[in-house]
Chains A and B, each alone.
Chain A
Amino acid sequence: MNWAAIRSIYLYEMSRFFRTLLQSFVSPVISTSLYFVVFGAAIGSRIDQVEGVSYGAFIVPGLVMLTVMTQAISNASFGIYFPKFIGTIYELLSAPINFLEIVIGYVGAAATKALFIGIIILITSFFFVDITIQHPLAMVAFLVLTCISFALLGFIIGIWAKNFEQLQLVPLLIVTPLVFLGGSFYSISMLPPFWQGVSMFNPVVYLVSGFRWAFFGLSDVPVLASLGAIALFTGICVGVIGLIFKTGWRIRE
């Protein structure tokens, strides 16, 4: 393993992030605050509690997940698409590094950025609602795993995309609906039985549920199922990336 090269890629990507630190933080903070105003205050005042938790607090884990997932995907997909687009990818391909090292560098940086933003949102939410985190370690583990697995997915999208439209297509058409229908703002048990069944095919449900369990000790699906789902999801992404590596698909054609 060429760790020095991985470090270079990672730090280079992070420096881009820190250069635009304010932008990187301001927009998620503003949108989170808006979510709190709309969902927490306006709607939440009519739904007083979900399974014993105030609605404002109930949506915090979902909100953090929503942002972390979309941020991880967009950071990672853009991170690898950009060098492809402007042609600087030649440098990565001609350096004495393998694909795995490239993945670690880019995915690591994208996951870190998403994690930063996730934490910022969590901190912001403390200003709006009272929350205690019952299982802090599990909370961190779910958060970190989600950052990594969605950054992996983003990386795949960035490799696959041939233009900017495609880069936004998957997040827009697949990920956003899955995330919104993944129980970020409601408990799956609030749905009619049929839609509860359908929801079980949505991987995001498992992630949000596990994450929420870490906060409040209540979940839509068993915690182990959540862990299993995130492991499976990560495994699939790693498998696909391995396949890309082997075939050189859309990179070394």
Chain B
Amino acid sequence: MSAILQVRGLRKAYANGFEALKGVDLDIEEGEIIALLGPNGAGKTTLISTICGITTATSGNVTVGGHDIETDFRAARSMIGLVPQEINLEPFETVVNTVRFSRGLFGLPRKDKIVETVLRQLSLWDKKDNQVKELSGGMKRRVLIAKALAHEPRVLFLDEPTAGVDVELRKDMWDIVATLKQSGVTIILTTHYIEEAEAIADRVGVINKGELLLVEDKTALMARMGKKELAVQITAPIDTIPELLASYDLTLSENGKTLTYTYDTRAERTGITSLLSAMSEAGLQLSDVETRQSSLEEIFVGLVHDGKDAA
């Protein structure tokens, strides 16, 4: 299966000379959800803007459904829906009009049925005749999504769809994304929330300083990059880690009753067996043992941090 979105060697230098994208390669398969993670200023919005035609690339090329975004921009853009990061809406326009306008801009005939479906899907139908300025922030964000969906795109870009959105609405947003995925839409979203990527994405990409550090299957990523922790409860508290255990990466909790061992699941030997026997050798009585998988967040912070060290 060929990728629905193909990015090759994409570079973007802004007018002031700042290089926001330093050669990005990315393939996105039809029907998947990919989450792009990265700190502020990483280049997420720039990447999306360049693909969607808001800014022009300095070099490299992008195809959407096999159509080059420059030479065949009409076909390429017809497939794309864009939900920008900022809430850019005309305050005095009514919801239904602004959604209709978006559809019209794509040269499509006015179909009120489709507009209605989209508005209902986003729970905006009862607000259709309200002016945009009368809506809450979360509703406005949904209007942006409705506008992007009005021309029935195959690929949807969501630039931080849940920024500044409360927990409940964020769950709603995830449901919307899941429904869209079911209808076959490919979704590329950016987010600062690791749990969001963990909850809804199939694959995760990490961007930092204009470079795509990695793109991986979410579960594979966690398994590959994941560090595990082994927490060992001991019955009698201790003040210091016994000499015998000095060679292990251990930390002792404040109350002296928990020893935490961090190990790498990628390593050939985790060292758990020898650690446990060394513990009994040191005379420690174990009362409980627990392991914990590190979250994407820790992986992410680790990656970005390593990137900084290298720079």
The chain A residues found within 8 Å of chain B, CB to CB, are 2-5, 7-9, 11-12, 15, 86-88, 90-98, 248, 252-253
Q: Name the B residues within 8 Å of A87 (CB-CB).
A: 84, 86, 88
Q: Any chain A CB within 8 A of the CB of B296?
A: no
A7 near B104: Cβ-Cβ < 8 Å: yes
A97 near B90: Cβ-Cβ < 8 Å: no
B88 near A88: Cβ-Cβ < 8 Å: yes
B82 near A5: Cβ-Cβ < 8 Å: no
Can you name 30 A-B residue pairings with CB atoms under 8 Å?
Answer: A2-B74, A2-B107, A5-B104, A5-B106, A5-B107, A12-B104, A86-B89, A87-B88, A88-B89, A90-B52, A90-B54, A90-B84, A90-B88, A91-B88, A91-B105, A91-B147, A92-B105, A93-B52, A93-B53, A93-B54, A94-B53, A95-B77, A95-B106, A96-B74, A96-B77, A96-B78, A96-B106, A97-B105, A97-B107, A252-B53
Q: How far is the CB of A213 from chain B (nearest CB, A)?
A: 41
Closest to A15 in B: B97
Q: Name the B residues within 8 Å of A4 (CB-CB).
A: 104, 107-109
B54 near A252: Cβ-Cβ < 8 Å: yes
In angstroms, Cα B42 to Cα A227, docked, is: 55
Q: Could you count the A-B residue pairs with CB atoms below 8 Å apart for me: how many are there?
A: 75
Closest to B14 in A: A253
Q: Any chain A CB within 8 A of the CB of B295?
A: no
Q: How far is the CB of B90 from chain A (nearest CB, A)?
A: 6
What does the 1/0 interface line of B251-266 toward A look like (CB < 8 Å)? Answer: 0000000000000000
Closest to A94 in B: B52
Closest to B74 in A: A96
Q: How far is the CB of B154 from chain A (nearest CB, A)?
A: 13
B89 near A8: Cβ-Cβ < 8 Å: no
List 5 A-B pairs, minimum CB-CB distance, nearest first: A8-B104, A87-B88, A96-B74, A4-B107, A95-B105
Q: Name the B residues within 8 Å of A12 (CB-CB).
A: 101, 104
Given A87-B84, A95-B106, answer yes or no on A253-B77 (Cβ-Cβ < 8 Å): no
